[in-house]
Amino acid sequence: MVGHIGPPNLPIRPPEYLSSRSKGTADCRNKLKSNLKEKFQCVFEGVAKAGNPTLLNQIYTEIYITEGESGEVNNEHEVRQIETASRKQNQPETMITLVDIFKPSPGREEPIRTVMTKGVAGIGKTVLTQKFTLDWAENKANKDIHFTFPFTFRELNVLKEQKYSLVELIHHFFTETKEDGICRFEDFKVVFIFDGLDECRLPLDFRNNEILTDVAKCTSVDVLLTNLMRGKLLPSAQLWITTRPAASSQIPPECVDRVTEIRGFNDPQKEEYIRKRFKDEEQASTITSHIKKSRSLYIMCHIPVFCWITATVLEDVLKTREPGELPKTLTEMYIHFLVVQSKVKNIKYDGGAETDPHWNKNNIDMILSLGKLAFEQLQKGNLIFYESDLEESEIDIKAASVCSGVFTQIFKEERGLYQEKVFCFIHLSIQEFLAALHVHLTFITSGVNLLSEEEQTQSWLSQVSVDKSTSFYQSAVDKALESPNGHLDLFLRFLLGLSVETNQKHLKFLLTKTGHGSQIKKKTVQYIKMKISDNLSLEKSINLFHCLNELNDSSLAEVIQECLRSRPLNTDELSHAHCSALVFMLLSPEKDLDVFDLQKYSVSEQTFLRLLPVVKASNKALYDLSTVFISQPSTLRELDLSNNNLQDSGMKTLSAGLRSPNCTLETLRLSGCLVKEEGCLSLASALSYNPSHLRMLDLSYNQPSESGVEQLCAGLDDPCWKLDSLKVDYGGLQRLKPDIKKYVCELEVDTNTLSRNLTLSADKRTVTYMEEDLPYPDHLNRFKSLQALCTNTLTGRCYWEVECTGKVNVSVAYRRKNNRGVIDLEFGDCDQSWSLRRCRHGGYKVCHNGVGTYISHSCSSERVAVYLDHPGGTLSFYIVDDGTLVHLRTFKTTFTEPLYAGFAFQNRYYSSSVSLCSL
């Protein structure tokens, strides 16, 4: 925001004045309210007018609005960790509620005259302005406003050629005011809403339009609007303008006092929306849990119109099918989304009617060129694009970013001299979807396989044979499997989804049917199953299961379901592929993996290895491993059961297997398994029976006791034993706590690092911000910025909890120095530190290397937990909500030096403090 034009101090009278001055005015206001109530009580869900009318108050769900611009689109993604460095967040987020949209933020004195709210297509801008108006009309909010006048640019466009005074324009749209002869609005508190600046066809010529101050003077609508926005005309009024991001620059920044951004639904709001849509609780929870099964679907539901599409499609499916049969229709939902956006584009920008066919040449051309851009840039790994990239793809930038509904301009701060416009798809998954559509269409229309490196010649549809199609899909599977970071995983799911005929029918103007659908599907399914049987990584095979879902093939999962019914599962029934299917099912989000009992599933070694990820994902695994080793000669050489709540009982069971001569394990990792003396002794005894294989034993982070360790150490010296590496470090009583709490460490604040405005309590556990400088001696390690580090050198696994008041960043950092002392970079601002803090208006923010990521969370506990696994390269932040750990974010990296716990205080925020918790 630059400059400020606030309403001058004109004497705005309270509403009572109105009634006492003129009964006519009060009557007029009531009539206006009642007409607005009628107009806005219903919302046409999804697509204006063509959607279903629903009561706004029944469906309206609080939405996430922030002050300022984040400069990015939602970057949560199912498969990929999205690099956010290029989309820098430059300010902490402040949440705004609808009633406070004009309320100055704390610390700001000037009133707010003009608010501009930005948001991508379907994020809820129109619904928000409707709710604001309805709440006023129903006397629920903003009672101090005398008149609310909601306009849309679409309605104003029609008056482009006509002349009005401001008063006449109001009379034209709000006839109650004309009937009651209201001609002066300066005495009243008036709010004008202008929804959909992106649809504006008026020139909005701020530079050349004449200045106008007289509300009774006739002129063009364009001159009226520019003068209203400049604050020349009716300066006492307040204005609220909504727009898609790329169109916002039509209004000079100095005319806008506040910019807000609609970010969509956060996770609890998504669920609340579904609950409101379906009065039947059971149906609501079936639909919510179904959406949650597909992570991509769940993420995309942050866009309300997408949430509506998903709920509508699933509701329809539920009418005809049992809940268990609900398809995981990721591709279908994205197709519907594209169709809805094309419909909206038709109505809004191409002058079409609600009932017109949504696919016209314009729309098709735009989708085709966006698809080409999406694919070419996906291959290069690009998620944001510059104007030059778009020119290469011959895309009309303005049309694509404003009208398409799938592509947007984002705000990016450039450090250099010049600012370039930056664009991206409204979500990376939309880029992956359009890329798949492009590859699919290219193949269908020209026979060219864009995924193949071989020279391609064009061939016509009739020549796209079953064999050619089969090898097209197989090459896509291979290509996705080759990618080390899974960058084509979601793309592959969409590509296969697009081959399904029921999906193609929604895109019939774009897609010609592939023909031979069932034959191709059969062969593709077979190929995918064959790949699943290979020794793929778990992530890769899980993606292939998603692909089978997109192809509506559930044969592998059905076999497993069948097997599970005949418990315990017979090992002979489980092929490698079935085993992966079992893992896929067990790891799906809605499965409660608190306790996993392997004994119920299988005892074969192969199966066991395949199930290890499940064992590790569960809080407690129960199993009878002995049979794996006892029943047959085993080829298993390495077994990692670390971080399992194995305990002594599990250890004894495992030992029964280890003592078998069939067991030829060479490496056994049991770090952090809650093993005590008894378990350790049984392990030592098992090894004394079968000493000639095991070379490496990791029992760190347990409490094996002195006698247990003695026995194992004796084995190290025994020439019959092969054991040559034994880890029993970090033992002790605290290691018997469940989960990561066993890694608790006692931190101690390093007083030499305390900045002069931080004081340490007498018990040395609480650091508090002080306004005055404290007379600490000079020290090379002392921070100038409001920070402190602890003395503990963290190199293993460590866990700690702190309680924060006010604005404190809980941090972990390397201790970097040069010859002038400690390097005074703010924690989280550089690549040498990581930090977490609670945001003032709810939620949390994690920062690393100058990039902040907001994590919305309804709970706002002040207790933060940190878990560092230095050798494993993970750093996790949690909040402790009523004793339960709630995971917020895990950073994965290779730590190159010891780390230190630290705290940073922000902005000299009064009475901030942080206390180390005793656990």
Ligand X SMILES: Nc1ncnc2c1ncn2[C@@H]1O[C@H](COP(=O)(O)OP(=O)(O)OP(=O)(O)O)[C@@H](O)[C@H]1O
Which parts of this chain interact with ligand X (CB under 6 A)?
Answer: 43, 45-46, 51, 59-61, 63, 119, 121-127, 196, 244, 273, 304-305, 308, 344, 405
46 or 731: whose CB is closer to ligand X?
Answer: 46
46 or 352: whose CB is closer to ligand X?
Answer: 46
120 or 579: whose CB is closer to ligand X?
Answer: 120
Tokens encoding 862 = 């002040």
358 or 838: whose CB is closer to ligand X?
Answer: 358
* Closest separation in Å from C-beta 373 to ligand X: 21
Q: How large is the angle between the packed helices 517-533 and 576-586, nearest 10 degrees?
A: 90
* Closest separation in Å from C-beta 370 to ligand X: 16
The half-sphere exposure of 350 on its side-chain side, counting CA atoms within 13 A, is 21
Tokens encoding 284 = 């609501």
Q: Is residue 101 classed exposed, middle or buried when 0-12, 13-18 and 19+ CB atoms within 10 A define those classes? A: buried
40 or 491: whose CB is closer to ligand X?
Answer: 40
Q: How many whole angstroms separate alpha carbon 864 and alpha carbon 838?
A: 9
242 or 541: whose CB is closer to ligand X?
Answer: 242
305 or 687: whose CB is closer to ligand X?
Answer: 305
195 or 605: whose CB is closer to ligand X?
Answer: 195
* Closest separation in Å from C-beta 510 to ligand X: 21
| Residue of 209, 215, 221 whose CA lies nearest to 163 | 221
Is the sign of the CA dihedral 766, 771, 773, 775 positive or negative?
negative
Q: How large is the angle between the packed helices 489-498 and 428-446, nearest 10 degrees?
A: 50
CA 256 from chain centre, in angstroms, equals 29
Q: How many whole angstroms separate alpha carbon 390 and alpha carbon 170?
A: 41
* Closest separation in Å from C-beta 98 to ligand X: 9
234 or 301: whose CB is closer to ligand X?
Answer: 301
Asked if 877 and 740 touch (Cβ cutoff 8 Å), the reply is no
DSSP state of 880: E
Count of Cβ atoms closer than 10 Å to residue 434 Cβ: 28
* Closest separation in Å from C-beta 601 to ligand X: 43
- Main-chain dihedrals φ then ψ at residue 624, nearest 5 degrees: -120, 85
* Closest separation in Å from C-beta 99 to ligand X: 14
Q: Which residue is nearest to ligand X (CB)?
A: 124
Q: How many whole angstroms separate alpha carbon 597 and alpha carbon 609?
A: 15
- Main-chain dihedrals φ then ψ at residue 869, nearest 5 degrees: -115, 90
Tokens encoding 734 = 């605290």
* Closest separation in Å from C-beta 198 to ligand X: 6
Q: Where are the beta strands (DSSP E) in 700-849?
A: 725-727, 758-760, 766-769, 787-789, 797-805, 808-814, 817-818, 821-822, 833-838, 844-848
* Closest separation in Å from C-beta 154 to ligand X: 10
244 or 837: whose CB is closer to ligand X?
Answer: 244
Chain position carrying tokens 């093939």: 553
Chain position carrying tokens 């050489």: 637
The half-sphere exposure of 200 on its side-chain side, counting CA atoms within 13 A, is 24
The two beta strands, 667-669 and 638-640, are parallel
121 or 744: whose CB is closer to ligand X?
Answer: 121
Asked if 496 and 551 touch (Cβ cutoff 8 Å), the reply is yes
Count of Cβ atoms closer than 10 Å to residue 359 Cβ: 18
- Main-chain dihedrals φ then ψ at residue 192, nearest 5 degrees: -100, 135
What is the chain's alpha carbon radius of gyration, rounded to the nearest angstrom?
32
122 or 708: whose CB is closer to ligand X?
Answer: 122
576 or 841: whose CB is closer to ligand X?
Answer: 841
Tokens encoding 544 = 């292939």
In this structure, which amino acid lies at residue 66?
T
* Closest separation in Å from C-beta 131 to ligand X: 7
136 or 308: whose CB is closer to ligand X?
Answer: 308
* Closest separation in Å from C-beta 340 to ligand X: 9
* Closest separation in Å from C-beta 302 to ligand X: 11
Asked if 287 and 314 touch (Cβ cutoff 8 Å), the reply is yes
259 or 557: whose CB is closer to ligand X?
Answer: 259
120 or 586: whose CB is closer to ligand X?
Answer: 120
Contacts of 417 (CB under 8 A, 6+ apart): none
Q: How many whole angstroms separate alpha carbon 896 and alpha carbon 307?
A: 43
* Closest separation in Å from C-beta 452 to ligand X: 38
* Closest separation in Å from C-beta 262 to ligand X: 7
* Closest separation in Å from C-beta 316 to ligand X: 16
Count of Cβ atoms closer than 10 Å to residue 6 Cβ: 16
- The terminus-to-terminus CA distance of the chain in angstroms comes to 47
C-alpha pair distances (Å), 316 with each of 56, 319, 322, 326, 504: 22, 5, 12, 10, 18
* Closest separation in Å from C-beta 127 to ligand X: 4
57 or 552: whose CB is closer to ligand X?
Answer: 57
Q: Is residue 305 classed exposed, middle or buried when 0-12, 13-18 and 19+ CB atoms within 10 A define those classes? A: buried
Q: How many whole angstroms separate alpha carbon 338 and alpha carbon 441?
A: 15
C-alpha pair distances (Å), 763 with each of 749, 755, 759, 760, 810: 11, 18, 12, 8, 20
In this structure, which amino acid lies at residue 778?
D
DSSP state of 123: S
- Main-chain dihedrals φ then ψ at residue 58, nearest 5 degrees: -80, -35
* Closest separation in Å from C-beta 148 to ligand X: 17
43 or 646: whose CB is closer to ligand X?
Answer: 43
* Closest separation in Å from C-beta 356 to ligand X: 17
* Closest separation in Å from C-beta 58 to ligand X: 9
